[in-house]
Amino acid sequence: MTKTIFEKHSPGRKGYTLPPLDINAAPAGCIPDKFRRQQALRLPEVSELDTMRHFIELSHMNHFIEKGFYPLGSCTMKYNPKLNESLLGNCGWSDLHPDQPESTVQGALELMFELQNDLAEISGLDAVTLQPVAGAHGEFAGLKIMHAYHLAKGNHHKTKIILPDSAHGTNPASCTLAGFEVVQLKSDERGMVDLEALKAIVDDNVAGFMLTNPSTLGIFETQTAQIAEVIHGVDGLMYMDGANLNALLGVARPGDIGFDVMHFNLHKTFATPHGGGGPGSGPVGVRADLVRFLPVPMAARRDDGSYFLDYAHEATSVGKLHSYFGNFAVNARAYIYIRMLGATGLRRVAENAIINANYILRRLEKHFLVPYPQTCMHEFVASGDWQKKKHGVKTLDIAKRLLDKGYHAPTIYFPLIVSEAMMIEPTETESKQTLDEFIEAMIEIATEADENPDMLKAAPHSTPVRRVDDTRAVRQLDVRFVT
């Protein structure tokens, strides 16, 4: 273990040189004695180099995409082009203030306008708002739009949203927050929507259907046209959770396959480094007759080519969902990413994301149970059931052992409908060599489970902190630094 910064402390050492003080120090009595520090603060005295090494060492104790493979299912932890950061670091962008007069921010408005249009084209929907700042926030916005649609038609009895049990966890939460009642639909043995079961529960109180597509099982729902027929039959609306649109880019458009409303997760599909839970962007796209319910303002273009913030449908809008115009810098990264890749590049994103996931699936299915073994989309779900039944090795143990081998663990114990689940998403940015190394590490772990299960149950062995007591950490959180 390397030394902490307190252990590197050496009295008198410092990392700065200041000119001698040429003003009078605070006159006596200026700060009352009771507010003065009685003892010198115990700070480490170190050089600039010591300080830099301290923070770099700390950062390396963590895992990040520039350090290693990060197959965290449903989160799309992909490499993000550094070009985005250098372009946005330009003061022409970074010094903008949202209260500036429109005439001085024409470039920013143009970017927003074009991004709205690009996302509309990619999704096959008619208009897009950039205001929501997370996937879940987009869901809430979309559901509020559906609510406004029904209110405007006098459909007061429409209180229910149907969603399959393979939905992302935010879907039922958003429905409840938006004031709807959730009706869960059990998936069939292929992990798809059971059409007969759906028909059996649909009635006039259904406001809409919400589908995570691809589902949390990494499966593309092929029956969306039939589902839409049933739902539209009772004047319900079709919502698609498009957080993982990287599987569909340039291949299938939600608007063409039966959906009326969807959200994007720009921070998954279209670049933006994830960290500390944000920031994100969850734009919402809708079909033409729902545009009047979108949050205002929208970016718009006048006939003379100038851009402005359009509040025209304020009276029918669901209202404002965020201060100003959403997370502008995340939206700008998405715009750069889309324009850098172009139409063919975006399609290749989807193709590579899908090929990478299927490559891992096929090579691991002899070693780990894969409960839904059909061709997957950008991710798939394996299970630790074989290892658990034979050796008592749980998915948690497998995940912890991966840390020893230099990998971030996949998403585990989600989705809930697969026992001992491991949700693996390689993303499109990883090479075959990296995938092969990860596959070898997983196969090694399967062998270790056969030969030395106790070692796995005690993993990780090489991380700065060994296995933490999750339950105690939640109840008695203590984040103090103790030397």
* Interaction site with ligand PLP (CB under 6 A): 74, 134-136, 168, 170, 212, 241, 243-244, 265, 280, 282
**Encoding tokens for residue 377?**
């989309």
Reading the block at residue 428, the tokens are 């499109």
- The DSSP line for 207-242 is EEEEEESS-TTS---S-HHHHHHHHHHTT-EEEEEE
CA distance 381 to 480: 37
Q: Are 379 and 397 in contact (CB under 8 A)?
A: no
CB of 135 to ligand PLP, least distance (A): 2
Residue 276 tokens read as: 């500390």
Q: CA-CA distance, 111 to 330, in Å (whole number)?
A: 12
Nearer to ligand PLP, 243 or 346 (CB): 243
Residue with tokens 């249009």: 117
Smallest gap from residue 203 Cβ to ligand PLP (A): 27
**Which residue number is nearest to ligand PLP in terms of Cβ?**
135
Q: Which two tokens stand for residue 222?
A: 């092929």
DSSP conformational letter for 410:
P
Instruction: Identify the sign of the CA torsion 278, 237, 347, 432.
Output: positive
Q: Which is nearer to ligand PLP, 213 or 387 (CB)?
A: 213
* Nearest distance, CB of residue 239 and ligand PLP, angstroms: 11
Least gap, CB of 273 to ligand PLP (angstroms): 14
Give the distance from CA 235 to its chain's centroid.
31
Contact criterion met (CB below 8 Å) for 457 and 393 = yes
Q: Nearer to ligand PLP by C-beta: 136 or 449? A: 136
CB 186 within 8 A of CB 162: no
Q: Minimal distance in Å, beta carbon 191 to ligand PLP?
A: 14
Nearer Cβ to ligand PLP (170/187): 170
The Cα–Cα gap between 338 and 347 comes to 11
**Cβ at position 176, least distance to ligand PLP in Å:** 15
Q: How far apart are the first and last CA of the chain?
A: 13
Residue with Cβ nearer ligand PLP (212 or 317): 212
Residue number with CB closer to ligand PLP (168 or 400): 168
Name the residue nearer to ligand PLP (CB basis): 128 or 243. Answer: 243
